[in-house]
């Protein structure tokens, strides 16, 4: 069990650029979640997948954000036309369906300059 992995760990980009993050969940987990965390706050839910189906999206996920999980394994989160307010830690977690235990990856820290 290698745990949840995320890539890259850090990303610095200029305002207006597009960025894409990748998450590899624990292999037997069929649910995958994306959260965003800013300094001093708890993680905020963005979206989650069961297998390849995206089951829920937060209102935080504006039309500049898109997430995919094409084969029910890894997932990508893309942010288009980044803004300074997008600077945050983007966290991925995975779990078995119906199981409340979500296991988090190390996160991708995004800085938009």
Partner 1 sequence: QKEVEQDPGPLSVPEGAIVSLNCTYSNSAFQYFMWYRQYSRKGPELLMYTYSSGNKEDGRFTAQVDKSSKYISLFIRDSQPSDSATYLCAITNAGKSTFGDGTTLTVKP
- Binding region for partner 1 (CB under 8 A): 4, 6, 31, 33, 35, 40-45, 48, 50, 55-56, 89, 91, 100-107, 109
Write down the least CB distance from residue 91 to partner 1, Å.
Answer: 6
Write down the least CB distance from residue 16 to partner 1, Å.
Answer: 26
**27 in helix, strand or coil?**
coil
What is the length of the chain?
A: 113
Tokens 């994306």 sit on residue? 34
When the beta carbons of 52 and 80 are compared against partner 1, the nearer one is: 52
Angle at 90 between CA 106 and CA 32, to 5 degrees: 80
When the beta carbons of 86 and 107 are compared against partner 1, the nearer one is: 107
> What are 95's two structure tokens?
């779990």
Q: Do 76 and 22 form a contact (C-beta atoms < 8 A)?
A: yes
When the beta carbons of 18 and 38 are compared against partner 1, the nearer one is: 38
């Amino acid at each position: 069990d290698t745990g949840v992995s995320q890539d890259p760990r850090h990303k610095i980009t200029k305002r207006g650029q597009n960025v894409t993050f990748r998450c590899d969940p624990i292999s037997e987990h069929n649910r995958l979640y994306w959260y965003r965390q800013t300094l001093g706050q708890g993680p905020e839910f963005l979206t989650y997948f069961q297998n390849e189906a995206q089951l829920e999206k937060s209102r935080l996920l504006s039309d500049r954000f898109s997430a995919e999980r094409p084969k029910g394994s890894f997932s990508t989160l893309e942010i288009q036309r980044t803004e300074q307010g997008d600077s945050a830690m983007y966290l991925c977690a995975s779990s078995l369906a119906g199981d409340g235990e979500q296991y988090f990856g190390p996160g991708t820290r995004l800085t938009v300059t």
